[in-house]
Amino acid sequence: MKANHVPRTERLRVRILKLEYRLDECWTREPDRFYQFCRHCGQTVITVNTTGHGKGCMLRGTPKEISYYKRLLAECVT
């Protein structure tokens, strides 16, 4: 990563934006379902807010990953 000469803060910002975008774009809605649901694990928004994404979902752990990279970014800036 040192060879590409992109500052660490910029790489972290881009990574955080990509993860947040992936998390926002996972929701879909069908006319016969009242709540939005995750297109990867099929759980509704309410279930994900209380218990998290389902087992085997590619987005499981993404909020923790975002908070980790935000902590790293805060350490870089200060």
Domain encompassing residue 9:
2-77
Calpha distance 44→50 (Å, rounded): 10
pLDDT at residue 20 is higher than 90: yes
Hunting for tokens 């000469």 — which residue is that? 5
Confidence of residue 2 (pLDDT cuts 50, 70, 90): low
pLDDT at residue 53 is higher than 90: no
Mean pLDDT of the chain: 87
pLDDT at residue 59 is higher than 90: no
What total of structural domains would you count in the chain?
1
pTM over the 0.85 mark: no
